[in-house]
Amino acid sequence: MKQEVIISQNLQQDIQDAILRQTYDRLFVLTDTTTLRLCWPLVSVFPCFEDAKMITIGDTDENKTLESLSHVWTALQQGGATRHSLLVNLGGGMVTDLGGFAASTFKRGIAYINIPTTLLSQVDASVGGKTGINFGGLKNEIGVFNLASSVILSTEFLRSLDMGNLLSGYAEMLKHSLISDVESWAELLQFGLDNLDYSRLGNLVAKSVAIKERIVEEDPTEKGLRKALNLGHTAGHALESLALEQGRTVLHGYAVAWGLVCELYLSVVKCGFPKDKLRETVLFIKENYGDPSLDCKQYERLYEFMKHDKKNVGDSINFTLLGGIGDIRINQHASKEEIFEMLDFLRDG
């Protein structure tokens, strides 16, 4: 099944059409506290939302929990939702992940629509049918694959985003370009992030989503090629989990950017990735994302987090690496020593 992804030129019309394509008895809208304040006002006046029942959860990844999920299920139940109801997720990746999982499991599954409001969720979380929550201190530990009926992408929401969240999404776009082609990669490195052209950014988002769609369509449940999308994520998720454990918030895209530094280093060592492309990419990341606060005393803990990664088979830590831009090498393994060397490279460059 192909997911309907709409690059919106007319937000009201596109949302209305997507909702009308569903046969539903009751309509629910899920936001977090931030998107309720910043994004809901942009669409709440649309006639299609006139009778919608609102559900709101706390913002940030710390709320991507079983408790928040239970809150959404309870609100659906108390709001009279049936198997024929429809949930619209209006928010970033946390909202689309958790909302998608709530919809996929309530009464064994109701239809849902994603309207992602951050750059990260537009290019990554909301497309491809991955839903879930964090559990037991691990990211996205519980979830299912289940495609949204529609995903509506609009740069209108991005105007209220701060630079940190814009950069967070941009890291996933950079990853998409690395697994695709040199032209896409070069275009992203040259794009002026300090003086944003939202129209051009919209075009870059459309290209980035097309790369992900192509891969997801070919491998919807991550048996092979879809593992390409994990580039930067084995190390990135470990850095994110460490921050979560320490009570620090690290934006997902920042962790992925640092994960790209790690895994491109491994790609050079193990797969012959060109050193000049490594240097250019690392320079771009260091200039825009800075360095993680990393101490060699934390390597063992990061290694433990990597051992819990969902992509692993048995005791081997599984990486997606590159032989070159667009030359994807899935199911690559690295020794503990090599992993510590890659963390040294991240720390010291």
Which CATH number goes with the domain that contains 276? Answer: 1.20.1090.10
| Length of the chain counted residue by residue | 349
Q: Which domain holds residue 226?
A: 163-192+220-348
Do 22 and 151 share a structural domain? yes
- Please tell me whether residues 155 and 167 are part of one structural domain: no
Q: How open is the CA angle 175-178-182, to the nearest 5 degrees? A: 145
Do 107 and 19 lie in one domain? The reply is yes
Domain identity same for 154 and 302: no
Q: Note whether residue 205 is domain-resident.
A: no
CA separation for the pair 174, 284 (Å, rounded)? 10
Answer yes or no: is 333 within a domain.
Answer: yes
Q: Say yes or no: 87 and 139 in one domain.
A: yes
SS3 332: strand
pLDDT at 312: 73
Regarding whether 178 and 73 lie in a shared domain, the answer is no
Can you give the C-alpha Rg of the chain in angstroms? 20
Predicted TM-score (pTM) of the model is: 0.89
Q: Could you read off the pLDDT of 220-230 as tens digits, one per residue? A: 888 899 999 99
318, 332 Cβ separation under 8 angstroms: yes
Residues 149 and 36 placed together within one structural domain of the fold: yes
- Tally of domains in the chain: 2
Q: Are residues 244 and 307 in the same domain?
A: yes
Give the integer Cα–Cα distance in Å for 238 and 221: 22
Q: What is the tens place of the pLDDT at every residue in 95-138?
A: 999 999 999 999 999 999 999 999 999 998 778 899 999 999 88
Pairwise CA distance, residues 97 & 340, whole Å: 31
Same domain, 307 and 174: yes
Mean pLDDT (whole number) for 263-276: 98
- Kindly report the CATH number assigned to the domain that includes residue 66: 3.40.50.1970
Do 181 and 116 sit in the same domain of this protein? no
Q: What's the pLDDT score for residue 1?
A: 59
Does 327 score more than 70 pLDDT? yes
Binned at pLDDT 50, 70 and 90, residue 247 comes out as confident
H helices present in the chain, as ranges: 11-20, 33-38, 40-43, 66-78, 93-105, 119-120, 163-178, 182-190, 198-218, 233-245, 252-271, 275-289, 299-307, 336-348
